[in-house]
Structure formats: structure tokens, C-alpha cells
């Protein structure tokens, strides 16, 4: 086996593109070199280079191939076309089963020849998100490509990128790399991947992105700890900075005390977005007057000049932030609302001001359902989008909501209103905390439900290839808030309320197509959930509810729950808390031998009924108790009477463990019935089928057992 090393040296590559580019290079090289590639290549990336290390066989024999040509006696034009396509002569063809066949003998493929042929095509068609041309060549790359290193088994492979008259800047693969632009400029020879990595390190370049991240993380953590501080975690910034430097040198700078009264989120965002600085804090969480930066050189003065220069830049940045902070607080949040009339939420869904009207209405509806004060929820909803028109959020969109909370406190709003404004976008991701105070919960739910209702109504639903409006995240946010706060919500009813907010604010339901795509699909799939809304609105709400419940299934499966038990527990229910309680109780039942046997009996009854109903069914209606002849069927009927009462009472109290226990009591009489009774005895058939239908219905009241898959061996 021969070691393969490819390195592409360029001008600075944007940090956000580096990791994907290294992955693409490995993927494309593995495909292009597949006949000889023996070990999957491993990529590396940095500010000025991407590359890979892999293993190839030096040569391989390809098997002979046969290409079937025209039939015997086919027109000469067909034969001529076939010969031209394969660059063959008539003498190379043989006759087989009425066809002319070209037998291509196997050939020896060498690694050098394959690289020389495949690598230029790979580089000419490399899938950068954005690329550029420079000079007179038509070759495109993310930034000007300077060197191509191609090393096979310690020897340089001369891979020429020229195409016809396009010289591609004269780039040819060679065993030469480059070190740090400042500390070790110029080329150096390479004979192996290990030497390449070691020589780069000697020349102030850490080839591996993980190594650069480790140096940055450990360095700034140690500098902060020396002053009794800690680094505010930011893995995204860490990865980005590692893509900006080849030789990371962590340093600490100081923030002027004059800026320490700014909200910490403002300082962190300004430092992160504008300068890629890391924020520091005291162990108790207070912002510290220090920041960490990462230089790309080891300065002779220990970085003193670099730190001083960055402190001057930061003073200017924070002065801008202070200007916005002071200017925004000269107005009340209500004063920003008229400006929202000129801010489009979505072309089909009106302005942000119209959206605020919907949120006020929906938050007021949700407030009593989540235990919130209606007036406070409506007040928070009225002001929650106001900061979108503020100077600070205009400069730093990442602070929307957060700044609204600060401005609300500054103007004397109730603390619950201010917190609700600050938290109404949460949760922003799977690790973000959900709002827990009722007013904040009401507004955050309203925000996400309005988002779901609106985009579903204009048929901008997520697809397998994209979710541009983050509706899956919004759905998971609703689910997490309901689950983690133990809320009891009729989601279909609430979604109908969200839908009704649109005609009041925008008149959008005057368009007949508004919401009809979802509603029509739901009507075809089945009757909409019962409620107080008109049928088409209920159908629309049911369609969005299906999406929410599908997200719930995905989330529960990710947590390790059995997907079939989740599906059995959902049924037509739209109360997530009740669904989860039912699923937990069902899981407990199915973990027992009684539960497994009961499921087997249910499926046996279901199979019998499916077959017999096709003959002369359905076999429904009351069981004729006088016609119950066998003691086993009388015992099952009596057990069903007792279980039905217990199940009804347990479900009314939402005591699902008790409901499952009532079903478990049916195991013994059901087993006896199937073991000792002939269901299709002509004299008793219809009555016994009704008894089985009653058994199935009793179980279906608790959960849809037909959706549960058998686990292991079950007796019937």
C-alpha cells in the first residue's frame, strides 16, 4: 500500500467553508480513486489549506468487460456509431447470441496515472459554495489557488491542471508545501504525511483543526483562571477562530470600566460578532472587565502591542453599542410599534405590526390555560416585537427579545412582562432552557403557534430538503414547553385560535386558498378532530397537529422510547401531557408477561374479526348474554363488564396505570376463551364475534394496540 497526501494551498479560506471543503475533498477523492483506494481518506483544513491523507494500491488489474453492440444484420450506421463510441474496429467484435459484442480486455491501472487523470477534473469541478476566477484562467476556486501538493509513497505526482489552451496558472502537483505566512514564509519539500505535519508545526502551522481548537480552549481557560475568571462557553466561536489562525496565541485584554454598565449580552455580542473575542465572567456569572483574543503570530513583545490595538478597537465598538443603548432608552417600547408597520414578517402574512395584533389575541387566549395573568400576557405580547425597530437590534439582530426585556425593565414594566419579552423566542435549540413563568410561557407559545399556523396556511411547510422558516424547531419548542411545564392544552383548539388571528390582522382568509391545502389533505386523511371550530378550520388545525405529533414521535424515539408504543398512545389525542402519561403506563404493561399475552390475544381477536367482517360483518352490537353457552365465554363477558367500568373510571381520572391494570385483568379469561372455545361454531359464531368486538373495543379505549409490534415470544 502507498500513502497518499494531497494538500491545496490557497489564499485565506472563509472559516465557515473549511470543514465542509475538507469533507468534500475526501468524498470526491474516494469516489474518483475508488479502484485503488484502500483506506478511506482523512481530511484536514485550515485558513490557507485543505487536504487529505489516505492509502492507495500502486496498481490493480481491471477485469475484462463486454459491450453488447447492434444485432447481426443491423444497418451500417448503427454499427459505425457503436465502433466510434468505443474507439474500436470491426475486427475486435465477436458474435454472441445474435449480437455483435466488443470484448474489452482488462488493463493495468497505476496510481500515478489515475491521480494524473482524476485529480484535475476533481479540482476544476470542486463544489465551493462561492468561488472566484483570477488572472486569465477559467479555473474557479474559493480564493486564488497557489500550490497543489500530491505525494504518493513519498514521490511527487505531477498533476497538471491545464486544460487545452487554459494553462490554469501553471499549477502542477509537486512535493512542496508552505509554512506560516509571517514566521516561516516560502516553500519546503515534503516526503511523507507525518513529515508534512511535523514540518508545518516547525514552521508555525498546526495542520489539524482539533489541535488548534485545543490550544485556544486550554490557553484562554488558563489565562482566565489565573485572574480568577472563567470563559463564557461558545463552541461556535471557538471553531470559527480555529479557522482564522494557523498558529493560535491566546491573549487577554481589558474592557474599560466605563462600559461595564452595558448589558452583558450587548458586550458579548459586540465582541463576538465584530471582533471574534471571547467574553469572560466571574464565577458568580457577572461579566468581567476582561476579554480573550487569539493572535495568529507569536509576537516578540509577548503580544502587548496586539492587545493594546485590540483594546482600542473594542472601545470604539462598545462606544457604538453605548450610543444605541442610550438612544433606544429615550423612547418607550410602545413608540417603536408604529415602525413595525413598515417591517414585513412575510409577503403572504403581513407586517410585524399585524403579527403583534395576533400575538396579543392568542396570548390572551392561552393565558388562563397556562395559569398566567391575561392582562400581563397581552401586555408582553404587545411589546415583544417592539425592539425589532430599535437601534441596538438593528445593529445586532441576535439580541432581539433580549433588548426588549431590558428596555421594558427600564421603563418600569412588571418584571413578568419584561421576562416574557426577553424569553419569548426560547427555546432556541435543544440545549436552550424553556420559559417556566406562566406569562412568559403564554407569549412564547403564542409566538411559535402563530408561526406554525401562518406558514402552514400559506403552504410553506417543511420538506425533506429544507425548512427555511424553522418550523420543526418551532414545533419542538411547543412540545418542550408543554412537556417541561406539564401543561394541559387542547392543541387542536389552540391551533384553530391561532388560525383565526389572521383574518383579524391581515384579512388573509379572504383569499380562498388560505389554509385550504392543509385542510383538504387532512379531510382526505380522515375526519378532523372534534372541537368548536368550523369543519375546514378544524381540519386545518388537525393537519398542523399531525405535524406537531410527528415531531413528538421523533423526539420520543430519540430519547429511546419505542415508536410503536408512542403511536399507540397518541391516537386522536392532542394533549401531550396525557399522551406521555398513557405511553408510560402502556410501556409498563407491555414490559410484563401479562401485557405481552394480552397484546397477543388482542391481535388474535383483531385478525379473526378482520377475516369474518369481510364475510358478513361488521360484527358489532350488544352481546346476547342468554346465548353465552360456554363457561369461558360467560367468564370473559363478565370480566369485560367489570373491566369496562374500571377503564371508564380510570380514564376519566386520567389514571392510566389503573386503566392498564384493568386491561391486565382480562388476560386469564381471554386466554381461557381462546384455548377452550371455538369462535366459529355455527351455532354461536355471531355472538362470539360480538364478544371479541367488545374485547377489542375495551382495549382500544385505552390505547390503539393495533399499532404495537410484538416483542419476543408471546403466547396466545
Q: What is the pLDDT of residues 210-259, one digit of tens each?
A: 999 999 999 999 999 999 999 999 999 999 999 999 999 999 999 999 99
What are the backbone angles phi and psi of residue 327, rounded to the nearest 5°? -65, -40
Residues 289-315: tens digit of each pLDDT: 999 999 999 999 999 999 999 999 999
Q: Is residue 225 part of a domain?
A: yes
Q: 371455538: which residue's cell?
A: 678
Residues 645-688: tens digit of each pLDDT: 999 999 999 898 998 888 888 888 998 998 888 988 888 889 99
How is the beta sheet containing 99-104 ordered, strand by strand? 65-71, 99-104, 93-96
Mean pLDDT within 500-507: 70
Of residues 167, 161, 195, 199, the one with CA closest to residue 180: 199
pLDDT in the model for residue 297: 96
In 393-491, beta strands by DSSP E: none
Characterise 170 by phi-psi region: left (phi > 0), alpha (psi -120 to 50), beta (else): left
Longest dimension (CA), the chain: 103
Q: From the centroid of its chain, how far is CA 58?
A: 42
β partners of residue 188: 177
Are 224 and 248 found together in one domain? Answer: yes
pLDDT in the model for residue 558: 83
Q: Residue 51: count other Cβ atoms within 10 Å of its Cβ.
A: 25
Are 321 and 340 found together in one domain? Answer: no
Q: How confident is the model at residue 504 (pLDDT cuts 50, 70, 90)?
A: low
Q: Residue 409: count other Cβ atoms within 10 Å of its Cβ.
A: 16
pLDDT in the model for residue 508: 52
Q: From the centroid of its chain, how far is CA 589?
A: 33
Q: Is residue 17 part of a domain?
A: yes
Are 173 and 286 found together in one domain? Answer: no
- The CATH number of the domain holding residue 498 is 1.10.3210
pLDDT of 505 higher than 70: no
Are 555 and 698 found together in one domain? Answer: no
Show the cell assigned to 698.
375495551
Q: Could you give the CA distance from residue 101 to residue 86 in angstroms, rounded to a whole number?
A: 11
pLDDT in the model for residue 144: 97
Q: Could you give the CA distance from residue 464 to residue 276 in angstroms, rounded to a whole number?
A: 34
Q: Is the dihedral of CA 438, 439, 442, 445 positive or negative?
A: negative
Boundary-marking domain end, from 272, 300, 328? 328
How many domains does one find in the chain? Answer: 5
Q: Could you give the CA distance from residue 408 to residue 388 in angstroms, rounded to a whole number?
A: 14
Are 392 and 243 found together in one domain? Answer: no
Q: Could you give the CA distance from residue 287 to residue 264 in angstroms, rounded to a whole number?
A: 6
Q: Is residue 692 part of a domain?
A: yes
pLDDT in the model for residue 418: 98
| Whole-Å CA distances, 405 to 2, 146, 329, 439 | 62, 50, 12, 13
Are 85 and 219 found together in one domain? Answer: no
Q: Could you give the CA distance from residue 35 to residue 113 in angstroms, rounded to a whole number?
A: 12
Comparing 543 with 715, which gets the higher pLDDT? 543
Of residues 286, 282, 287, the one with CA closest to residue 318: 287
Residues 545-592: tens digit of each pLDDT: 999 998 988 888 888 877 788 788 877 778 888 888 888 888 888 888
| Whole-Å CA distances, 413 to 150, 374, 392, 409, 569 | 66, 15, 20, 5, 43
pLDDT in the model for residue 716: 33
Mean pLDDT within 524-543: 77
pLDDT in the model for residue 529: 57
Mean pLDDT within 512-537: 76
Are 128 and 223 found together in one domain? Answer: no
Q: Could you give the CA distance from residue 527 to residue 453 in angstroms, rounded to a whole number?
A: 19
DSSP secondary structure code for residue 62 in this structure: P
Q: 384455548: which residue's cell?
A: 675
Q: Could you give the CA distance from residue 449 to residue 425 in angstroms, rounded to a whole number?
A: 12
Residues 12-68: tens digit of each pLDDT: 999 999 999 999 999 999 999 998 999 899 999 999 999 999 999 998 877 777 888
pLDDT in the model for residue 240: 97
pLDDT in the model for residue 713: 42
Q: From the centroid of its chain, how far is CA 569?
A: 25
pLDDT of 507 higher than 70: no
What are the backbone angles phi and psi of residue 256, rounded to the nearest 5°? -60, 140
pLDDT in the model for residue 527: 64
Q: Is residue 576 part of a domain?
A: no
pLDDT of 455 higher than 90: yes
Are 285 and 338 found together in one domain? Answer: no
pLDDT in the model for residue 63: 75
Q: Is residue 203 part of a domain?
A: no
Are 371 and 495 found together in one domain? Answer: yes
Query: Chain-wide mean pLDDT for the chain?
Result: 91
Q: From the centroid of its chain, how far is CA 356?
A: 28
Host H or E run for residue 352? helix 352-370
Of residues 711, 681, 531, the one with CA closest to residue 612: 681
Residues 311-369: tens digit of each pLDDT: 999 999 999 999 999 999 999 999 999 999 999 999 889 899 999 999 999 999 999 99
Show the cell assigned to 93.
467484435
Boundary-marking domain end, from 45, 76, 106? 106
**Coil, strand, or helix at residue 585?**
helix
pLDDT in the model for residue 511: 61
Residues 111-161: tens digit of each pLDDT: 999 999 999 999 999 999 999 999 999 999 999 999 999 999 999 999 999
Host H or E run for residue 94? strand 93-96
What are the backbone angles phi and psi of residue 40, rounded to the nearest 5°? -55, 130
Are 68 and 131 found together in one domain? Answer: no
Angle among Cα 531, 546, 529 to the nearest 5 degrees reads 20
Mean pLDDT within 522-531: 69
Question: What is the extent of the structural domain holding 451?
Answer: 334-560
Show the cell assigned to 668.
386469564
Q: How confident is the model at residue 715 (pLDDT cuts 50, 70, 90)?
A: very low
Q: Is residue 716 part of a domain?
A: no
Are 117 and 87 found together in one domain? Answer: no
Q: Is residue 628 part of a domain?
A: yes
Q: Is residue 202 part of a domain?
A: no
Q: Which of 264-273, 474-483, 691-700 has the lowest mean pLDDT?
A: 691-700
Q: Could you give the CA distance from residue 206 to residue 588 in angstroms, rounded to a whole number?
A: 54
pLDDT in the model for residue 506: 56
Q: Residue 236: count other Cβ atoms within 10 Å of its Cβ.
A: 9
**Coil, strand, or helix at residue 466?**
strand
Are 617 and 521 found together in one domain? Answer: no
Amino acid at each position: 500500500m502507498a500513502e497518499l497526501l494531497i494538500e491545496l494551498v490557497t489564499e485565506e479560506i472563509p472559516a465557515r467553508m473549511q470543514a465542509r471543503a475538507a469533507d468534500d475533498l475526501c468524498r470526491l477523492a474516494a469516489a474518483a480513486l475508488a479502484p485503488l483506494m484502500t483506506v478511506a481518506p482523512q481530511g484536514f483544513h485550515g485558513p490557507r489549506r485543505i487536504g487529505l491523507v489516505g492509502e492507495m494500491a500502486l496498481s490493480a488489474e481491471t477485469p475484462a468487460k463486454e459491450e453488447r453492440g447492434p444485432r447481426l444484420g443491423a444497418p451500417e450506421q448503427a454499427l459505425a456509431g457503436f465502433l466510434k463510441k468505443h474507439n474500436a474496429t470491426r475486427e475486435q467484435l465477436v458474435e454472441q447470441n445474435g449480437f455483435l459484442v466488443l470484448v474489452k480486455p482488462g488493463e493495468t491501472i497505476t496510481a500515478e496515472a489515475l491521480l494524473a487523470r482524476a485529480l484535475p477534473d476533481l479540482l476544476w469541478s470542486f463544489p465551493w459554495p462561492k468561488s472566484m476566477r483570477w488572472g486569465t484562467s477559467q479555473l474557479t476556486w474559493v480564493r486564488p489557488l497557489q500550490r497543489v501538493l500530491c505525494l504518493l509513497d513519498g514521490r511527487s505526482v505531477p498533476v497538471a491542471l491545464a486544460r487545452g489552451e487554459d494553462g490554469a496558472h501553471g499549477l502542477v502537483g509537486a512535493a512542496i508545501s508552505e509554512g506560516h505566512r509571517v514566521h516561516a514564509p516560502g516553500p519546503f519539500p515534503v516526503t511523507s504525511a507525518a513529515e508534512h505535519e511535523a514540518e508545518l508545526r516547525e514552521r508555525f502551522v498546526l495542520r489539524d483543526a482539533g489541535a488548534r481548537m485545543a490550544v485556544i480552549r486550554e490557553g484562554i481557560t488558563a489565562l482566565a483562571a489565573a485572574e480568577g475568571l472563567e470563559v463564557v462557553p461558545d463552541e461556535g466561536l471557538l471553531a470559527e477562530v480555529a479557522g482564522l489562525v494557523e498558529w493560535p496565541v491566546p491573549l487577554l485584554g481589558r474592557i474599560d470600566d466605563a462600559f461595564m454598565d452595558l448589558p452583558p449580552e450587548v458586550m458579548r455580542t459586540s465582541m463576538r460578532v465584530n471582533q471574534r473575542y471571547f467574553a469572560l465572567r466571574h464565577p458568580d456569572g457577572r461579566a468581567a472587565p476582561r476579554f480573550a483574543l487569539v493572535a495568529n503570530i507569536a509576537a516578540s513583545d509577548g503580544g502587548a502591542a496586539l492587545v493594546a490595538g485590540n483594546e482600542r478597537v473594542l472601545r470604539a465598538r462598545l462606544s457604538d453599542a453605548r450610543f444605541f443603548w442610550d438612544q433606544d432608552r429615550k423612547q418607550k417600547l410602545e413608540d417603536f410599534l408604529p415602525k413595525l408597520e413598515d417591517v414585513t414578517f412575510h409577503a403572504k402574512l403581513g407586517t410585524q405590526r399585524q403579527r403583534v395584533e395576533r400575538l396579543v389575541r392568542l396570548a390572551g387566549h392561552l393565558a388562563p390555560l397556562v395559569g398566567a395573568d391575561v392582562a400581563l400576557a397581552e401586555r408582553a405580547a404587545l411589546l415583544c416585537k417592539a425592539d425589532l425597530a430599535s437601534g441596538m437590534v438593528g445593529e445586532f439582530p441576535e439580541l432581539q427579545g433580549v433588548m426588549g426585556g431590558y428596555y421594558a425593565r427600564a421603563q418600569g414594566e412588571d418584571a413578568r412582562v419584561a421576562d416574557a419579552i426577553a424569553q419569548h423566542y426560547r427555546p432556541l435549540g435543544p440545549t436552550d432552557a424553556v420559559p417556566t413563568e406562566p406569562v412568559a410561557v403564554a407569549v412564547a407559545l403564542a409566538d411559535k403557534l402563530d408561526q406554525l399556523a401562518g406558514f402552514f396556511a400559506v403552504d410553506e411547510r417543511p420538506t425533506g430538503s429544507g425548512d427555511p422558516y424553522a418550523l420543526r424547531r418551532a414545533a419542538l419548542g411547543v412540545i418542550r414547553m408543554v412537556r417541561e411545564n406539564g401543561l394541559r392544552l387542547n392543541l387542536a383548539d389552540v391551533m384553530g385560535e391561532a388560525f383565526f388571528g389572521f383574518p383579524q390582522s391581515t384579512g388573509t382568509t379572504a383569499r380562498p386558498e388560505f389554509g385550504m391545502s392543509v385542510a383538504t389533505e387532512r379531510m382526505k386523511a380522515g375526519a378532523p378532530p372534534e372541537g368548536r371550530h368550523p369543519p375546514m378550520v378544524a381540519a386545518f388545525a388537525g393537519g398542523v397537529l399531525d405535524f406537531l405529533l410527528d415531531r413528538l414521535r421523533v423526539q420520543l424515539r430519540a430519547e429511546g422510547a419505542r415508536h410503536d408504543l408512542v403511536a399507540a398512545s397518541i391516537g386522536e389525542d392532542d394533549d401531550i401531557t396525557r399522551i406521555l402519561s398513557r405511553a408510560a403506563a402502556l410501556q409498563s404493561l407491555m414490559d410484563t408477561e401479562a401485557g405481552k399475552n394480552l397484546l397477543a390475544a388482542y391481535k388474535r381477536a383483531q385478525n379473526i374479526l378482520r377475516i369474518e367482517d369481510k364475510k358478513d360483518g361488521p360484527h358489532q352490537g350488544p352481546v346476547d348474554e342468554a346465548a353465552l353457552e360456554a363457561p369461558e365465554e360467560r367468564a370473559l363477558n363478565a370480566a369485560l363488564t367489570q373491566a369496562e367500568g374500571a377503564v371508564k373510571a380510570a380514564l376519566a381520572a386520567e389514571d392510566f396505570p389503573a386503566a392498564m391494570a384493568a386491561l391486565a385483568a382480562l388476560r386469564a379469561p381471554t386466554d381461557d376463551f381462546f384455548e377452550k372455545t371455538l369462535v366459529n361454531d355455527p351455532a354461536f359464531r355471531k355472538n362470539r364475534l360480538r364478544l371479541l368486538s367488545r374485547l377489542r373495543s375495551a382495549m382500544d379505549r385505552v390505547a390503539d394496540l393495533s399499532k404495537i409490534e410484538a416483542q419476543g415470544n408471546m403466547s396466545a
